[in-house]
A and B are shown apart, each in its own frame.
Chain A
C-alpha cells in the first residue's frame, strides 16, 4: 500500500533542506543552533540584464548610435558610469548612464546590452532549529520541532509573525472587518476567504500572511498577483478549515509562526510551521507510512472536502464507489457517526 505523509501534525520534527540555486559557500556546521534570520549559505548570482535603446535616448538613428558610445563591449562600468553621450549644442547634451555597476555586453543596431554586477544571495535558516546536515557548496538541513500543516495551495513567498485568529469558528469567513491595523506583522487565521477586500486590507495593513481553510475560486488569481503570503489548508471553494487544525492554531495563538506560501524547497508543499519547544527525543519525524485502521484521515475531494474521520476498515479488493467506478479505498467513520467508502487517492493522513 502506498505510504502516506501526514498533512498536519500538532507536534513533530520538521527537517527543511535549504539549497542555493547555484554552488556557493556554506556558513554553518552540523550542530549549530540557528535562528530564522541567520545566513546559512551564500552564493554569487549573475546580475540582471538591462537594454538601453541608445538611438532613441540620444535622438540618433540606429546606425549612428555607435559613434556616441563611450564604452567598449566587455568593459566594466561603475554606477552612474557614462555609457553613451551626444552633444547637440553646447548647452544640450544627452547621456545614457549605467544604473548600477556592471559590464557592457554589446551594442546591436542602436541598442546597448548592459549586465549588472553579480549579486550576493544569502540563504537564511527560515526556521529556528539545529543544523543536522551540510550539503557542500549547496546548503544545509535545519531541524526544528513544532506544529506543521501543509496547505492544499499557497502563494506569495515566506512570511512570519505572531499567530492571530481573526475568526472564532473554522467555517467563519475572514471578512474585511476582521482584518485590522493591529494585525500588522501577524499571521492571520480565518475559516474561509471569499471577500477580496479582506485580501487588499491584509496587504494594506502589512499582515505577514493569511491562513484559511478554503478560498473562493475567483480570488485565487487575485492572490497570485499580490506578494502576500497565503496558505489554503483544504482547497478551493467554501470548505471550512479542518477542526483539529483550527483547534491547534487556537492553542498556538500568540506564538511565532512561519508561513511558506510558495513551494518551499524540495517538497513543494506550501506550509505553516509553528515552532514549539519540545525535546527532539520526544518527537518523531513525520515520515510517509501506510494507511492503517484507526488512523485519522482528512477527505480531500468534494463533496466531503475537509471532513475528518477515522479509518475503520481497509478492504483489500477494489470497491464500487457511489458513482459506479471501482477503486481501492477505506471505510471512514466521520465525526457524526456516518461511515463512507472513500478511494485511497482521496484521503490524507493527519498527525
Chain B
C-alpha cells in the first residue's frame, strides 16, 4: 500500500478445475486498469497436487510481463506492496476447482418436494447421485434404496417433504433408518443430513440422528402446497460446498493465508459481479451469462433484481464432455458441426479432450467440435435455469446482455464463431448485446468488489468486456428465403444502410464499439422483434461492437435442417456471414 492506506495494486486469481487465471489490477493515470492477465493449468490431481503451486506459477508468468516481483524468495506472495514496487496491496481469490457435492435427495413425493430439492441442487455446485421418493415407493424397495446410500460416498443427504403441520411418521422413520445405517462408519465418512421439510418433524429427526449424523435444518422448501422456498436451502448448500469441498483442497489453506479477504466460490463471485452489472447498467431485461468451462457449465440470469443460477457439474468442453455425451448423445453434439465428422471420430476427439483437459484444439474438426459442445452444454442446462424463473421458463429469452465466458468462448479464433455459438446456445429474442469475458476475470472482479469496489467498477468498465455487438432476433418462423426483416441503419455520420434480411439467414452490419446508429426495423407480419406483437416494427438507438449489428433471421425456436449435408452447409454459411 504505497500511499499508506488505499489499495492501489490488486492481484486477483481464479482457480478453476482446469485452468487458473491471474490478473493484476493497478492504478494507471489515476484509474484502476487491468495491467496483465495469465492462464496456467490448475495443479490438482497431478504430480503437483496443490492448487497454490498453480497460483505461484501464474504469478511467476506475470512477473516478466509486468516487470515486477510478486513472489518472495520463499515463493510467498509479497503483501503489501513495497516502496520498491514489489508485491501488491491486496490479493483476492475465487475457486471452483473442487468436485461438486455428492447429494442424495430423499423426499416424500416426486412431483412436489423432490422437484423443489432438484431445483435447489441445480443452482448449487452439486451432483445428484440418488433420489428416493419415500412416499410412493413400496416398503422393501424403499429400504433397499436407503441401504444403498451408504455405498455411494455421499456428502449430503438432503431430506425434504411434507407441508408444515403435515404428517411426519415417514420422515421420522427414515431418519431412524439413516442413523442406524451410518452408525458403523467413521465420522469423517458420514454425510451431513440437511433437512428442508415439514418443520414439525425437525425435533424428532434431531433426536433420531443425534451423535451419528451432522444434522442441519433450513426452512421447509414447501411450507405450503403452492409455496416454494428455496433461498435458505441454496445458501446452506453453498456453505456446505465451501466446508466440505473447497476447504479440503490441497493448497487451499495456503491460498487463504495469502488472501486479503476470504476466498469466494467462483459462482458466488460471478453472481455478485453480474448483479452489479445489471444494476449499474440499469438493464431492465437483465443479463444472461453462459460460462462453459472444461468441467462445469454455469448459467446465470440476473433479471428483475433476482438472480437465477443453474450449475451443470461435470458438463463442459473437456472432462465434462463425457457426461454431455452420456446425457444427450453424440448426435446432438454433431448437429452443430459445419463439417462432416463421423460419430466415431467425434467421440474419439471428445474422449481425448477429456483425458488431457488442458489441451487446445489444433484442427478445424477439433475446434468446431469444442464449440458444438459449448452449444449443447448450454442447451441441456438452460431448461434447468428457466425452471427457476417465476414463470417457470414460459417467457421468451429476452435479455439486454448475453455474456459468454469460459476457455472456449474467451479464446475463440474468430469473434464470429463466439457470437454464433452464443446465439445458437442461448437463442435470445429481441435486441441483445453480446459480450465476452475475454480476460477470464469476471469472478475475480466480483471478489475485488468486496474490498475495492471502485477498482472493480473501473476495471469492469474499461477492460472487462469484449463487446461483440448487438444481435436482433425475432420470435417466430416464416418460410426460408421470405423477406423477414427490413432494416434501416442510420449512422451518426449521416450514412444510411438499408437491407432486407431473408428468413433463415444471419446478416452482419458493421458498427464499431464506440459508434452509435439508429436502427429501424420492419418485421414480417408473422415475426415479433420483441415488442409483443408480430409484425410490429420499431426504432431504437444502438451501439455497436467488434462485429457490429447482427440480424439473426433464423427464427425462434431455431430449427436446424434435418438433412445432415444441408445442415452443415447452413451452419457454415451462418459462420461465414459472421466471421470477418
Residues of chain A having any CB pair with chain B under 8 Å: 1-3, 5, 22, 46-47, 49, 51, 53, 55-56, 62, 73, 103, 105-106, 108-111, 113, 115, 152-153, 216-218, 220, 235-237, 266-269, 288, 300-305, 321-327, 342-343, 345-346
Question: B413 at interface (Cβ–Cβ under 8 A)?
Answer: yes
The distance in angstroms between the C-alpha atoms of A46 and B190, with both chains bound, is 12
Task: Name 16 A/B residue pairs within 8 A (Cβ), A-sorted.
Answer: A2-B57, A5-B46, A49-B184, A51-B147, A106-B180, A113-B180, A115-B184, A152-B352, A152-B356, A236-B347, A288-B47, A301-B359, A321-B360, A325-B367, A326-B411, A345-B359
Given A301-B352, A323-B413, A346-B359, the answer on whether A105 and B364 have CB atoms closer than 8 Å is: no
List chain A residues, Cβ under 8 A from B351.
217, 220, 235-237
CB distance from A43 to the nearest CB of B (A): 10
The distance in angstroms between the C-alpha atoms of A216 and B184, with both chains bound, is 43
Interface centre among B57, B180, B413, B414, by most chain A C-beta atoms within 10 angstroms, is B180
Binary CB contact string for chain B from 95 to 139 against chain A (1 if under 8 A, 0 otherwise):
000000000000000000000000000000000000000000001
Given A109-B143, A237-B348, A302-B366, the answer on whether A345 and B48 have CB atoms closer than 8 Å is: no
* 180-203 of chain B: CB within 8 A of chain A: 180-181, 183-186, 189
> Are B176 and A302 closer than 8 Å at their CB atoms?
no
Given A1-B61, A267-B49, the answer on whether A106 and B139 have CB atoms closer than 8 Å is: no
> Are A268 and B348 closer than 8 Å at their CB atoms?
no
Of A103, A237, A288, A305, which contacts B48 at CB under 8 A? A288
Of A1, A46, A217, A237, which contacts B184 at CB under 8 A? A46
CB distance from A313 to the nearest CB of B (A): 18
> Are A217 and B347 closer than 8 Å at their CB atoms?
yes
Question: B144 at interface (Cβ–Cβ under 8 A)?
Answer: yes
> Are A301 and B47 closer than 8 Å at their CB atoms?
no
List chain B residues, Cβ under 8 A from A111.
139-140, 143
List chain B residues, Cβ under 8 A from A46.
184-186, 189
Question: B344 at interface (Cβ–Cβ under 8 A)?
Answer: yes
* 1-52 of chain B: CB within 8 A of chain A: 40-41, 45-49
Question: B389 at interface (Cβ–Cβ under 8 A)?
Answer: no
Question: B567 at interface (Cβ–Cβ under 8 A)?
Answer: no
Question: B328 at interface (Cβ–Cβ under 8 A)?
Answer: no
The distance in angstroms between the C-alpha atoms of A22 and B184, with both chains bound, is 14
Count CB-based A-B contacts (< 8 Å): 144
Residues of chain B having any CB pair with chain A under 8 Å: 40-41, 45-49, 57, 61, 139-140, 143-144, 147, 150, 173, 176-177, 180-181, 183-186, 189, 344, 347-349, 351-352, 355-356, 358-367, 411-414
> Are B184 and A47 closer than 8 Å at their CB atoms?
yes
CB distance from B118 to the nearest CB of A (A): 26
List chain B residues, Cβ under 8 A from A322.
362-363
List chain A residues, Cβ under 8 A from B364.
323
> Are A113 and B181 closer than 8 Å at their CB atoms?
yes
The distance in angstroms between the C-alpha atoms of A322 and B366, with both chains bound, is 12
List chain A residues, Cβ under 8 A from B358.
345
Q: From B48, which residue of chain A is reached at the shortest CB distance?
A: A288
List chain A residues, Cβ under 8 A from B361.
301, 323, 325
List chain B residues, Cβ under 8 A from A327.
360
List chain A residues, Cβ under 8 A from B139.
55, 62, 109-111
Of B57, B144, B177, B352, which contacts A108 at CB under 8 A? B177
The distance in angstroms between the C-alpha atoms of A109 and B139, with both chains bound, is 8
Given A2-B40, A152-B355, A235-B351, the answer on whether A346 and B360 have CB atoms closer than 8 Å is: yes
Of B47, B57, B147, B352, which contacts A305 at CB under 8 A? B352
Q: From B362, which residue of chain A is reached at the shortest CB distance?
A: A301
> Are A237 and B411 closer than 8 Å at their CB atoms?
no
Given A46-B185, A235-B352, the answer on whether A304 and B61 have CB atoms closer than 8 Å is: no
The distance in angstroms between the C-alpha atoms of A47 and B352, with both chains bound, is 38
5 additional contacts (CB under 8 A) given A268-B45, A325-B411: A49-B150, A51-B147, A300-B359, A322-B362, A326-B411
> Are A108 and B411 closer than 8 Å at their CB atoms?
no
Given A49-B150, A236-B352, A302-B349, the answer on whether A345 and B41 have CB atoms closer than 8 Å is: yes
List chain A residues, Cβ under 8 A from B150.
49
The distance in angstroms between the C-alpha atoms of A153 and B348, with both chains bound, is 13
The distance in angstroms between the C-alpha atoms of A153 and B322, with both chains bound, is 14
Given A303-B363, A304-B362, A323-B363, the answer on whether A108 and B176 have CB atoms closer than 8 Å is: yes
List chain B residues, Cβ under 8 A from A110.
139-140
> Are B143 and A266 closer than 8 Å at their CB atoms?
no
The distance in angstroms between the C-alpha atoms of A106 and B348, with both chains bound, is 49
> Are A49 and B181 closer than 8 Å at their CB atoms?
yes
List chain B residues, Cβ under 8 A from A343.
359-360, 362
List chain B residues, Cβ under 8 A from A346.
356, 359-360, 362
List chain A residues, Cβ under 8 A from B412.
325
List chain A residues, Cβ under 8 A from B356.
152, 235, 300-301, 346
List chain A residues, Cβ under 8 A from B186.
22, 46
List chain B residues, Cβ under 8 A from A266.
49
> Are B355 and A302 closer than 8 Å at their CB atoms?
no
List chain A residues, Cβ under 8 A from B144.
51
> Are B184 and A105 closer than 8 Å at their CB atoms?
yes
List chain B residues, Cβ under 8 A from A345.
41, 358-360
List chain A residues, Cβ under 8 A from B366.
301-302, 323
> Are A303 and B143 closer than 8 Å at their CB atoms?
no
List chain B residues, Cβ under 8 A from A153.
355
The distance in angstroms between the C-alpha atoms of A105 and B414, with both chains bound, is 62
Of A1, A51, A73, A216, which contacts B143 at CB under 8 A? A51
The distance in angstroms between the C-alpha atoms of A305 and B365, with both chains bound, is 14
CB distance from B334 to the nearest CB of A (A): 14
> Are B49 and A301 closer than 8 Å at their CB atoms?
no
The distance in angstroms between the C-alpha atoms of A286 and B348, with both chains bound, is 30
> Are A323 and B362 closer than 8 Å at their CB atoms?
yes
Given A2-B57, A236-B355, the answer on whether A302 and B363 have CB atoms closer than 8 Å is: yes
Given A105-B184, A108-B176, A153-B355, the answer on whether A53 and B360 have CB atoms closer than 8 Å is: no
> Are B414 and A324 closer than 8 Å at their CB atoms?
yes
> Are B355 and A217 closer than 8 Å at their CB atoms?
no
CB distance from B2 to the nearest CB of A (A): 29
The distance in angstroms between the C-alpha atoms of A22 and B45, with both chains bound, is 20
List chain B residues, Cβ under 8 A from A237.
348, 351-352
List chain A residues, Cβ under 8 A from B140.
53, 55-56, 110-111
The distance in angstroms between the C-alpha atoms of A318 and B183, with both chains bound, is 57
The distance in angstroms between the C-alpha atoms of A92 and B310, with both chains bound, is 58
Q: From A105, which residue of chain B is reached at the shortest CB distance?
A: B180
The distance in angstroms between the C-alpha atoms of A109 and B169, with both chains bound, is 12
List chain A residues, Cβ under 8 A from B344.
216-218
The distance in angstroms between the C-alpha atoms of A321 and B360, with both chains bound, is 10
> Are B147 and A2 closer than 8 Å at their CB atoms?
no
CB distance from A325 to the nearest CB of B (A): 4
CB distance from A79 to the nearest CB of B (A): 17
Q: From B144, which residue of chain A is reached at the shortest CB distance?
A: A51
List chain A residues, Cβ under 8 A from B40.
2
List chain A residues, Cβ under 8 A from B414.
324
The distance in angstroms between the C-alpha atoms of A52 and B359, with both chains bound, is 50
